Amino acid sequence: MKLEVNDELVVRARDLIVPLDARSAEEVLKAALRAGIEALEERGEKLVDTQVERGKRLYGAEAYPAAVEAFQEAWRMDSSSADTAFLLGLAWERNENVDGAIGAYEQCLRLSPEHDKALKRIAISLHKAQRYEGAVAAYDRALDREPGASALISNRADCLRMLGMNEDCLDDYGWVLSRQPHDLVANVGKATALNALRRFDEAVPHWEIVVELSPGDEIAKAGLELARGWHMEQDRRLSPERQLQRDRDERCIQWNHRGRKVICDNPLCTGRFPDALAALEAMKALKIEVEGD
């Protein structure tokens, strides 16, 4: 910032000047310099505050691209403010720039590691970016600060499920449902995980709740039909072809539970319930599904 001589600096310097027999010229010069630096710092703080307030007004008016520019300018002026970095992250989110938001929240947490709001927002942003491992770690940190936050627990369960850790996500879904039995997201997540684990008898009641809450959801209807169908058939004697199919499903589930990244394209494993139902119907049509009875 260019140093300009103005009335404020002149007054400060004048007040500091005393007879040279009391102070050396060097001391007077240092004192005047300190006064000038203080004035510049105060002026800079005012400019930063002005940009931050401008960004807030633009954000409130839903002018999100302009809000990003205002917060970026404030950050360029003062990169030591965790709150400015957090506001920039919010504006990036509203601009649907998830990577920009994550970067801003990382800067905020670098400056203020226990910033509660930033811990939540970075977890949600990592979740949106499908960076599930990082999101799980971020949700863990956020929940350390706010234990019992149902939305965060449910989100962490979703990330675990997307990582193929179907067994591990059940506790989180169960915790949410013990307090909110008709939570739609938690019921969908738990039912999907139970289907993937072939625990169809446990999945049925959750699918029933989902269909009741969202009667037009065809995927939920397909999930319920699939769980009911497999549950009813579990004690029947199967053909060799169908036994091989189930054996393959079981191996895929075990691999996913151990955290392997390769996920089978089998419809059951990937949650494509309509495709799985179509396959079942085709097998029934060919009469290769059940022997005896």
143 phi, psi to nearest 5 deg: -75, -25
Helices (H), 61-115: 64-77, 82-94, 98-111
Check pLDDT > 80 for residue 203.
yes
Which DSSP category does 234 fall into? T
Mean pLDDT of the chain: 75
Tens of pLDDT, residue by residue over 122-154, are 999 999 999 999 999 999 999 999 998 999 999
Q: Is the pTM of this model over 0.85?
A: no
With 0-12 / 13-18 / 19 or more C-beta atoms within 10 angstroms meaning exposed / middle / buried, residue 63 is: middle
Check pLDDT > 50 for residue 290.
no
pLDDT computed for residue 264 by the predictor: 45
Residue whose C-alpha is closest to residue 121's, from 75, 88, 150: 88
Cβ atoms 193, 170 nearer than 8 A: yes
Measured from the Cβ of residue 2, the count of other Cβ atoms closer than 10 Å reads 4
Query: Torsion-angle region of residue 81: left (phi > 0), alpha (psi -120 to 50) or beta?
Result: beta
Question: Would you kindly state where each structural domain of the chain is located, as residue ranges?
Answer: 44-130+141-147, 148-293
Q: What does the alpha-carbon distance between residue 195 and residue 109 come to, in Å, rounded to a whole number?
A: 38
Check pLDDT > 70 for residue 31.
no
Superfamily (CATH H level) for 148-293 = Tetratricopeptide repeat domain (1.25.40.10)
Read off the pLDDT of each residue in 162-186 and give the average, rounded to a whole number: 94
pLDDT computed for residue 275 by the predictor: 52
Query: Torsion-angle region of residue 292: left (phi > 0), alpha (psi -120 to 50) or beta?
Result: left
Cβ atoms 193, 169 nearer than 8 A: yes
Tens of pLDDT, residue by residue over 8-21, are 555 555 555 544 44
Superfamily (CATH H level) for 44-130+141-147 = Tetratricopeptide repeat domain (1.25.40.10)
Q: What does the alpha-carbon distance between residue 252 and residue 245 come to, in Å, rounded to a whole number?
A: 11
